[in-house]
């Protein structure tokens, strides 16, 4: 049989994590009789008096939010990391290693409006979110005990988000997280061998092929990675090689905001629902070491597979063997690329 990339099982290499993924595109045809998620159709108010994140409301710790009009940042009331200095005597053996981890967690409210998402915000409002991300990266990264700043958003109850108010988080810590450490090793090895950015070379080749490109503007590309794990996973990458948010020019900040707006609108339009995902920015560590190998990029990991109510589960083989996907990256890129750029709610005024 002649190999067909959209029909036959095959493995693909992820050069960022030095891992492989199994692609089984023929399995997308199988009937689904498994769990279906509840699709939320509730219309949210612009301000919810019971929401901990809305302007002017009390949070769970009884602190009052200011009447903010744009982004609002505060220390997480239930942090995963603490700033305390801990005395620790290292008596670890090879098989029983541990060490204290110091850091802090913040919450960023993207907007005072309770009933919007990034997909429904204006590009100028998303620009302000990017400006806030940049300020926090600089501020947190300047602390001598912070070596990495992870900016991310969990959107939707399917992703474990307990509050629909548009917000994201920042976890800043003293160690490099595992995924960042793997990525850094790969980026550094490529840079040392070629004296070029791995992602710059990758994006340039993707732009030539145009098989997995979803959105392109002057400064950024949104694409489905060749090695994507999640059904409609995308990666937003700067065309120019620079390592972190500090390197953004004003024009690039605008283009970044336009790209975020573009892909989140397409996600919502795919199944005409507020599309859940986990998204986050990967950028250079703040360990006061030069990192010419790093290249700013943002990942979007949405779980939905074939409808608003059917999600991809990472179980069984994925947990015991390696990651696996049922729809080819080329097919998911085509589906996303062909979607309208106008949010479906704007064409259906009653929704």
Annotated catalytic sites, by residue? 167
CB 302 within 8 A of CB 231: yes
**C-alpha to C-alpha distance for 154 and 160, rounded to whole angstroms:** 7
**DSSP symbol at 246:** G
Half-sphere exposure in the Cβ direction for 166 (13 Å, CA): 25
Residue 119: φ, ψ to 5° = -65, -25
Half-sphere exposure in the Cβ direction for 213 (13 Å, CA): 15
**C-alpha to C-alpha distance for 251 and 319, rounded to whole angstroms:** 42
Q: Which residue, among 299, 305, 308, has the nearest Cα to 324 in the 3D structure?
A: 305
Q: Residue 134: enclosing H or E segment and its boundaries?
A: helix 123-141
Half-sphere exposure in the Cβ direction for 332 (13 Å, CA): 32
């Amino acid at each position: 049989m002649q190999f067909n990339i959209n029909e036959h099982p095959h493995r693909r290499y992820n050069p960022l994590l030095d891992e492989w993924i199994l692609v089984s595109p023929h399995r997308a045809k199988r009937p689904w009789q498994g769990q279906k998620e509840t699709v939320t159709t509730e219309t949210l108010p612009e301000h919810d008096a019971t929401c901990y994140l809305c302007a002017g409301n009390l949070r769970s710790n009884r602190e009052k939010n200011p009447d903010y009009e744009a982004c609002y940042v505060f220390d997480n009331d239930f942090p995963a990391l603490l700033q305390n200095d801990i005395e620790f005597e290292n008596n670890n053996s090879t098989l029983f290693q541990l060490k204290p981890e110091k850091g802090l967690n913040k919450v960023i409210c993207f907007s005072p409006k309770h009933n919007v998402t990034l997909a429904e915000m204006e590009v100028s409002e998303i620009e302000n979110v990017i400006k806030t991300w940049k300020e926090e990266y600089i501020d947190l990264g300047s602390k001598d005990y912070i070596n990495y700043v992870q900016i991310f958003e969990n959107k939707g109850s399917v992703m474990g988000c307990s509050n629909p108010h548009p917000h994201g988080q920042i976890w800043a810590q003293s160690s490099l997280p595992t995924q960042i450490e793997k990525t850094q090793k790969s980026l550094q090895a490529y840079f040392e061998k070629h004296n070029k950015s791995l992602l710059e070379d990758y994006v340039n080749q993707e732009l030539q092929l145009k098989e997995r490109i979803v959105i392109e503007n002057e400064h950024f590309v949104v694409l489905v990675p060749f090695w994507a794990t999640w059904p409609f996973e995308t990666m937003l990458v700067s065309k120019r090689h620079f390592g972190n948010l500090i390197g953004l020019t004003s024009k690039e900040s605008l283009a970044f905001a336009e790209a975020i707006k573009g892909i989140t609108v397409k996600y919502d339009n795919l199944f005409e629902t507020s599309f859940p995902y986990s998204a986050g920015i990967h950028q250079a560590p703040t360990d006061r070491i030069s990192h010419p190998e790093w290249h700013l990029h943002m990942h979007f990991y949405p779980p939905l597979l074939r409808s608003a109510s059917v999600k991809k589960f990472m179980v069984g083989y994925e947990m015991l063997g390696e990651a696996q996907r049922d729809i080819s990256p080329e097919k998911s890129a085509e589906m996303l690329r062909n979607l309208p750029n106008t949010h479906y709610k704007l064409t259906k005024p009653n929704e």
